[in-house]
Amino acid sequence: MNKKNQNWKIISNNFDTLLSSENSVDVLKNGFLMLAIMGRFSTQQSGDEHAVLSVNRMKLEKERLKNEGKLRASKNLESISENERPFEIPDSWCWVRLKDIVYLLGDGLHGTPVYTPKGEYFFVNGNNLQDGKIVIKDGTKTVSAEEANKHKKDLNDRTMFVSINGTIGNVAFYNNEKIILGKSACYFNLGREFLKEYLKLVFDSPYFLSYANKSVSGTTIMNLSLFSMNNFPVPLPPLVEQSRIVQKVNEISAICEELKLQIGASNILQRKVADALVEQVLT
């Protein structure tokens, strides 16, 4: 029996022990995320277009928009060096900086808006971003439509938000919510040849958190700069494979959530039995 099969036999024989807590399930899920963004979790098909072709079309589109005055010119970034690539990816994939697959990237308001009780628009920050959605909490403050218009950003159906101050890596998609954005979150508009759902997996993965931890500044409150976000190296599959990866990860995530529910129910039962035994002893 080879080493790989031996390792799997050990894991399979102790699966119930390894998945003995909700935290262990989260560790397993993170492992699957890493395999997914490394290309180990999906099949590469010969008919798939190489990912670099989508990136090249994006470059041409951005140049056209710059020439028409619809997109601001910005400094080109250096190509991704071998040292910046933390793992190998399939031949049909490519490494690309986040800036190269988005039209613009910025952050929210640096300062405090004029609040209006029961205003039409919510002032959201990184802590309002949760698992792909903008969550309006009880303490979320509001502003008037006039105040919101002063701080309006160019948001659309391709807009993603990522928290970059304090808690790093919360992600949400924009869905026409009436909001203005605070500085603890950045926003960017993703090109149409790239899946938001796939990019969310990359941000959810331990890989992004590792990159962020190496790039953050600040001692009491961590801050990830827009420069670091623009420079973030993304492992990019062909578009059709992005879709396959998202589907696979969603299936695995559903299984993981079911496992956590079962573990939670088991823990409740164990506590009830323990409480009953303690009560017997005391009486």
Residue 168: give its domain's CATH number: 3.90.220.20
Q: Considering the domain boundaries, does residue 233 fall inside one?
A: yes
- pLDDT at position 169 is 94
Query: How open is the CA angle 212-106-204, to the nearest 5 degrees?
Result: 35
Nearest C-alpha neighbor of 50 from the set 95, 87, 82: 95
Q: Is residue 244 in some structural domain?
A: yes
Residue 205 domain boundaries: 47-75+85-260
The pLDDT of residue 222 is: 86
Residue 219: inside a domain: yes
Question: At a CB cut-off of 8 Å and minimum separation 6, what does 171 contact?
Answer: 129, 131, 132, 160, 161, 162, 163, 200, 203, 204
- Which two tokens mark 268? 């409740």
| One-letter identity of residue 142 | T
Q: pTM above the 0.75 mark?
A: yes
Q: Of 147 and 273, which is predicted with more confidence?
A: 147
pLDDT tens for 136-145 read 998 899 999 9
Residue 21: inside a domain = no
Structural domain includes residue 40: no
Q: Kindly state whether residue 89 falls inside one of the protein's structural domains.
A: yes
What mean pLDDT is reported for the chain? 86
In 133-234, alpha helices (H): 145-150, 196-204, 206-215, 226-231
Specify the pLDDT at position 217: 81
Task: Please choose, from the candidates 183, 143, 192, 140, the residue with its C-alpha nearest in 3D space to the C-alpha of residue 161.
Answer: 183
pLDDT band at 231 (very low <50, low <70, confident <90, very high): very high
Give the number of domains in the chain. Answer: 1
pLDDT score for 259: 78
Question: With bands split at pLDDT 50, 70 and 90, how would you rate the model's confidence at 273?
Answer: very low
pLDDT band at 22 (very low <50, low <70, confident <90, very high): low
The angle formed by the CA atoms of residues 27, 171 and 57, to the nearest 5 degrees, is 110
Backbone φ and ψ of 172, nearest 5°: -150, 155
In a domain, 37, yes or no: no
- Separation CA 75–CA 60 (nearest Å): 16
| Any domain includes 1 | no
Tokens representing residue 132 in the block: 């792909």
